Structure 1
Amino acid sequence: MTRRTDVVVVGGGQAGLAAGYHLRRRGLDSVILDAGPAPGGSWQHMWDSLHLFSPAEHSSLPGRLMPAQPGEPYPGAGHVVEYLTDYEKRYDLPVRRDTRVNAVRRDADRLLVEADAGTWRARAVISATGTWSRPFLPAVPGRAAFTGRQVHTVNYRSPADFAGQRVVVVGGGNSGAQIAADLALSGHAEVVWATRRPPRFLPDDIDGRALFDVATARRRALDAGRTDTGGVASLGDIVAVPPVRAARDAGRLTAKPMFARLTATGVRWADGSRSDADAIVWCTGFRPALAHLAPMNLRGPRGRVPTEGTRALDEPRLHLLGYGDWTGPASATLIGVGRTARDAVHAITQLP
């Protein structure tokens, strides 16, 4: 059976909920299809010690401020899951769980959304699947030869899982710094942090509030034809959240240049020296989860769909929400996605 609706949102994490909020305010019939069994999106799967970069009041979706977490200036991932769960219920958003979308196809003046629970025919589709389901592992020489444990950020939970082990953490971004700090401060493991370039810490007083403002200013400058300010990347790569500052200031967060290759028992550095390792934690980022859009053949460079704002250039009925700055400034953040969700829904209301 094929169901009809105005808009199908693919993904029920923070971006999908923000879209659902604005769709409801505009009076559009919609459904949010989410592959997961419970609310919270990728926040359900974060490591135990993860905290937001910003206070709760600066980490909110449209229409509902995130309440503060008692005793925590920067809320933890579990608090975010509770907030998203409450948000979904508060606005009675039409989320269907355990519903995986396999394909989105063109069908005359509509788009067909094919899921394992059936097919929807819609005026427009908002893709909000994020990146968490597509972890990226670099093609490092010897990776297949290493006999120890290899995990990606998506699989990391706690230092206790690495008790007594020699661990190499790979990656110079926020997740690499936070996980290396988590392991180093715990005393459970012997940690080496490897990065492709020297890590760049943002000033200690910079948090998510300032990053959102910087990203927004860059987008406005580009839209106005002014010089690219460089955005957040011009300031640094790593937000110095309290655990990262503590490990750095204690001298326990010093990065080594990336190793040349993996061996069966560890790593070999560029100077030919070797270090034994029991585990590698790959904090090497993600790619957008866009396999459901493959039938429309829209992908451009770097696996992205070319967009103007959130709208796909070659398919105006499709909007991409929350994948990063290429779909709106700070759109992969709680505070940033609301504005781009609003803009996407407004554009959908203008469709013929």
Structure 2
Amino acid sequence: MEHHADLIVIGAGQSGLATAALAPRHGFARTLVLEAADQVGGSWPRYYDSLTLFSPARYSSLPGMRFPGDGDRYPTRDEVVDYLRAYARHLDADIRTSTTVTSVLPRDGAWVVRTDDGAELTAPTVVAATGAFHSLYTPDVPGREQFDGRSLHAADYRSPEPFTGQRVVVVGGGNSAIQIAAELGTVAETTLASRRPIGWVKQRPLGRDVHWWFKHTGFDIAPLSRMLEKVPVSVLDDGHYRAALTAHGVERREMFTRLTPDGVMWANGTKEPADVIVWATGYRLTYPYLDGSGALDTDGRPRHHGGIATMPGLGFVGIEFQRSFSSNTLRGVGRDAAHVLSRLCRSR
């Protein structure tokens, strides 16, 4: 079988780009990157307008290219997008955008990758780096079908102006929920609903950004993935967001028990009207193009150990807590990519 590449990477977000950047160091001379969107950058271009990283620029770089500017500042969404696009331009890889992978199946000791335009590509090694952004998660709350207001996931939220004067409930207790609720509070009557109290973490304990402590204590790379999956969500804050919630009257309440036609019902039985529900409830990892490949379990989750699939020649990069606390972050995804590529290279 003639191979179109030594390595096919699916996804041109931070995970796929880091994998493509490191591929030549691990013996993959011809790398092909397939991206469904019309530009590289993964989910970053589609996040809400005001998104700001919680990690400083000096801890937000991919392998081989420093994040530009003041290392102590917290980059915006658009700065990250610009960085990823500049990063892609320097890669020794064939990057094809507007190319959706429809299936990846093993055949004759290699992998056959089919795309939506009818192409059939082959390679002995494939890395799935598409992440979870396309699989939006919202909890199954009673009454959802009866709710007459607007319901949207945080992935579809862009800015607060369209919600001016409305009554909004933001669901979630993570960084995105806090950022969105804080800015909605400036224009709308906003409530934050979460299953647990917000786990506030100081952004700069003892005068150092928390990411400095993560690095210098070794916590960032500690192999604690199974334990970390059970740790409650925490929110990094230098005091700005907590103060904004208070200043704009955004109350945090225990998660409502059901939706009503005109709002929500809280745990104490009281009802509150709401025009909009914003679900900042995250994503679920899915790989529909691997259906039928044998690489997924019965629930559709990847069978892997630290990103190395149980099937030869297949790897994953970009899974939260894949190998450490910093997996699936700009600062940590390169370490996972290097680990996966080194193992895949040795198994060829």
Task: Flag as ranges the 4+ runs of structure 1 deviating above 6 A.
Answer: none
Contact 2:171–2:193 (CA under 8 A) maintained in structure 1: yes
Specify which of 321, 328, 337 is matched with residue 325 of structure 1: 321
Extract unaligned runs of 5+ from structure 2.
Answer: none
Specify which of 295, 320, 331 is matched with residue 292 of structure 2: 295
TM-score where L is the length of structure 2: 0.90
Instruction: Work out the CA distance in 1 between the residues paired with 2:298 and 2:219.
Output: 25
Matches within 5 A, 1:149-298: 149-184=150-185, 187-205=186-204, 209-210=211-212, 213=215, 217=219, 220=222, 222=224, 230-231=227-228, 237-240=234-237, 243-248=240-245, 250=247, 252-298=249-295
Which residue is 2:330 aligned to? 334
CA shift, 1:347, in A, is 1.3
Which residue is 2:61 aligned to? 60
Instruction: Work out the CA distance in 2 between the residues paired with 1:284 and 1:340.
Output: 25
Instruction: Work out the CA distance in 2 between the residues paired with 1:327 and 1:302.
Output: 21
Q: 1:214 to 1:197 in 2, by over 3 A?
A: farther
Contact 1:320–1:327 (CA under 8 A) maintained in structure 2: no
Q: 1:98 to 1:241 in 2, by over 3 A?
A: farther
Instruction: Work out the CA distance in 2 between the residues paired with 1:123 and 1:3.
Output: 7
Describe the superposition over 1:78-100 as per-residue Cα deviations: whole angstroms up to 9, x where unpaired: 00010011111122432100000
Which residue is 1:39 aligned to? 40
Which residue is 1:131 aligned to? 132
Task: Name the amino acid aligned to 1:325.
Answer: F
Greater share of helix: 1
Contact 1:134–1:289 (CA under 8 A) maintained in structure 2: yes
Contact 2:214–2:220 (CA under 8 A) maintained in structure 1: no
Q: Which moved more, 1:152-161 or 1:303-312?
A: 303-312
Q: 1:212 to 1:33 in 2, by over 3 A?
A: farther
Q: 1:131 to 1:327 in 2, by over 3 A?
A: farther
CA shift, 1:172, in A, is 1.1
Q: 1:14 to 1:189 in 2, by over 3 A?
A: same
Q: 1:221 to 1:157 in 2, by over 3 A?
A: closer
Instruction: Work out the CA distance in 2 between the residues paired with 1:301 and 1:327.
Output: 22
Q: 1:221 to 1:324 in 2, by over 3 A?
A: closer
Extract unaligned runs of 5+ from structure 1.
Answer: none
Q: Are 1:306 and 2:308 counterparts?
A: no
Describe the superposition over 1:85-130 as per-residue Cα deviations: whole angstroms up to 9, x where unpaired: 1111122432100000011101121111111241111111100001
Which residue is 2:4 aligned to? 4
Q: 1:143 to 1:179 in 2, by over 3 A?
A: same
What SS does the aligned partner of 1:334 have? coil
Instruction: Work out the CA distance in 1 between the residues paired with 2:238 and 2:312.
Output: 39
Instruction: Work out the CA distance in 2 between the residues paired with 1:137 and 1:145.
Output: 16
Q: 1:13 to 1:284 in 2, by over 3 A?
A: same
Task: Name the amino acid aligned to 2:87.
Answer: Y
How many equivalent residue pairs?
A: 343
CA shift, 1:246, in A, is 2.9
Q: 1:14 to 1:328 in 2, by over 3 A?
A: same
CA shift, 1:289, in A, is 3.0
Instruction: Work out the CA distance in 1 between the residues paired with 2:203 and 2:222.
Output: 26
CA shift, 1:240, in A, is 1.4
Q: 1:37 to 1:58 in 2, by over 3 A?
A: same
CA shift, 1:349, in A, is 1.3
Contact 2:229–2:321 (CA under 8 A) maintained in structure 1: no
Q: Which moved more, 1:321-330 or 1:336-345?
A: 321-330
Which residue is 1:21 aligned to? 21
Instruction: Work out the CA distance in 2 between the residues paired with 1:285 and 1:167.
Output: 18
Contact 1:215–1:232 (CA under 8 A) maintained in structure 2: no
Q: Which moved more, 1:142-151 or 1:88-97?
A: 88-97
Instruction: Work out the CA distance in 2 between the residues paired with 1:41 and 1:221.
Output: 26
Q: 1:217 to 1:144 in 2, by over 3 A?
A: same
CA shift, 1:18, in A, is 0.2
Instruction: Work out the CA distance in 2 between the residues paired with 1:35 and 1:214.
Output: 38
Describe the superposition over 1:130-166 as per-residue Cα deviations: whole angstroms up to 9, x where unpaired: 1111111111000111111111011001110201100
What SS does the aligned partner of 2:200 have? coil
How well do the aligned residues superpose, as a CA RMSD in angstroms? 2.6
What SS does the aligned partner of 2:235 have? coil
CA shift, 1:254, in A, is 3.5
Instruction: Work out the CA distance in 1 between the residues paired with 2:172 and 2:213.
Output: 20
Contact 2:317–2:336 (CA under 8 A) maintained in structure 1: yes
CA shift, 1:215, in A, is 10
